[in-house]
């Protein structure tokens, strides 16, 4: 089973967009699921992230849906729902099997999922994905964001990991070049790139 875990350096960096690109690519090789373990701010006419990423080519699963658009633990408390690492892993493992999965986290990699402080790095360590993809906004500051997020993730997760640079707003050529040079100098694999149009998408690894 191919499992790609998608997390980010922050909220709003394009995780769902990248998850959709990965799901569409994986669907060429077989039945694919897009899984969102927990989402806050869902509903009220807003499509769930898993549904957006799955599109017409994958099966969507949101394991815990919370109405308030705030951090998962705070949203769970308001909704009087239980959210912790053990619960999310139990729900994940109860899903029907699939040859390909894209699992998208909520917010940044250090967002707490558990009252004890466990977060997406702990989730990744338990999940043991084929690869963990950290989505970073392709702008000035991306090198710092990438280094911080990867270093944090590696404190608990020792599997394959790299960065995907996503640019809703195209950076200058100088900034784009320096971001890629900075990742290379830090020994951080660049797994992919994307922008606003389909021609901007580049896979630097083969998701399977």
Return d(Cα 208, Cα 201) in angstroms, integer: 17
Given 15, 36, 77, 81, which residue is catalytic?
36
CB proximity list for 96: less than 8 A, separation 6 or greater = none
Active site residue 81: no
Distance, in Å, from the CA atom of 6 to the CA atom of 162, rounded to the nearest integer, reads 10
Q: Which residues contact 117 (CB under 8 A, 6 or more apart)?
A: none
Q: By three-state DSSP, how is residue 35 classified?
A: strand
Instruction: Write out the E strands in the chain.
Output: 2-8, 32-40, 59-66, 100-104, 131-137, 161-166, 190-194, 202-203
- How buried is 183 (Cβ within 10 angstroms: 0-12 exposed, 13-18 middle, 19+ buried)? buried
Nearest residue to 109 (alpha-carbon basis) of 4, 1, 35, 7: 7
**Is residue 52 within a helix (H) or strand (E), and if so which, with residue range?**
helix 49-54
Residue listed under structure tokens 């989402």: 39
Name the residues annotated as catalytic: 36
């Amino acid at each position: 089973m191919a499992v790609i875990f998608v997390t980010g350096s922050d909220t709003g960096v394009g995780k769902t967009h990248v998850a959709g690109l990965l799901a569409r690519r994986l669907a060429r090789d077989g039945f694919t699921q897009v899984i969102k373990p927990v989402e806050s701010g869902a509903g009220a006419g807003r499509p769930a992230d898993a549904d957006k990423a799955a599109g017409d080519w994958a099966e969507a699963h949101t394991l815990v849906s919370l109405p308030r658009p705030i951090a998962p633990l705070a949203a769970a408390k308001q909704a009087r729902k239980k959210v912790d690492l053990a619960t999310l892993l139990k729900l994940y493992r109860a899903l029907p099997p699939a040859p390909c999965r894209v699992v998208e986290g909520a917010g940044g990699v250090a967002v707490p999922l558990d009252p004890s402080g466990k977060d997406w790095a702990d989730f990744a360590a338990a999940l043991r994905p084929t690869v963990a993809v950290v989505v970073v906004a392709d702008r000035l500051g991306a090198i710092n964001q990438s280094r911080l997020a990867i270093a944090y993730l590696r404190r608990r997760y020792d599997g394959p990991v790299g960065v995907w640079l996503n640019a809703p707003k195209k950076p200058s050529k100088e900034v784009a070049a320096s971001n890629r040079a900075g990742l290379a100098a830090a020994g951080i694999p660049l797994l992919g790139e994307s922008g606003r149009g389909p021609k901007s998408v580049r896979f630097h690894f083969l998701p399977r």
